[in-house]
Amino acid sequence: MDPLGGAPRLLLLFSGKRKSGKDFVTEALQSRLRVDVCAVLRLSSPLKKQYAQEHGLDFQRLLDASAYKEAYRKDMIRWGEERRQADPGCFCRSIVKGVSQPVWLVSDTRRVSDIQWFRETYGATVYTVRVVASEQSRQQRGWVFTPGVDDVESECDLDNFGVFDWVIENHGDEQHLEEQLENLIEFIHSRL
């Protein structure tokens, strides 16, 4: 049992570049597994909430894919890095409080320190999933390279991570994506 109140049977840490489809994939998995079995956790939520409170901003608008969020993204990244340097697990601890489902999907793992924290806290239940998409696919979803965003730790720390337990290709081929999701769902069911 973990010190935060509950431990998952399976914890999947999803990572990938901006507009690769991390949220899309985790939400698709959750819809197939049911909310009573599977929780989607977002490391960016407590970060955005605290940032909004400290800066007098609209938290809900920081959560969506809007120009509002993009206007604050660079400063949020800087601010979040300062918090993580002081306490690498600060946002990780925040998202797991009170979660009771047996399967946890962390939709936005961005740093080696995030993976290390989850592995140290939850051990063998933790698996890494990298969502990849071609630059062209990402551009079709609205991605534009932004200096100070796409070339910093929050976007690049896992580029040379090593071997991920799962790689999901999300280049726009719906049938191929569906096959990959089915394989991952079979794996999840085998752990329950």
94 annotated ligand binder = no
Which amino acid is residue 189, in one-letter code? H
170 annotated ligand binder = yes
Give the Cα separation of 155 and 158 in Å (integer). 8
116 annotated ligand binder = no
172 annotated ligand binder = no
23 annotated ligand binder = yes
107 annotated ligand binder = no
Two tokens at 144? 């534009």
17 annotated ligand binder = yes
74 annotated ligand binder = no
114 annotated ligand binder = no
Q: 21 and 113 in contact (C-beta within 8 Å)?
A: no
Residue with tokens 């592995």: 119
Give the Cα separation of 71 and 172 in Å (integer). 28
Which amino acid is residue 9, in one-letter code? R
53 annotated ligand binder = no
18 annotated ligand binder = yes
Q: 59 and 48 in contact (C-beta within 8 Å)?
A: yes
Give the residue numbers of the binding site for substrate. 170
Give the residue numbers of the binding site for ATP. 17-23, 141, 171, 180
Give the residue numbers of the binding site. 17-23, 141, 170-171, 180
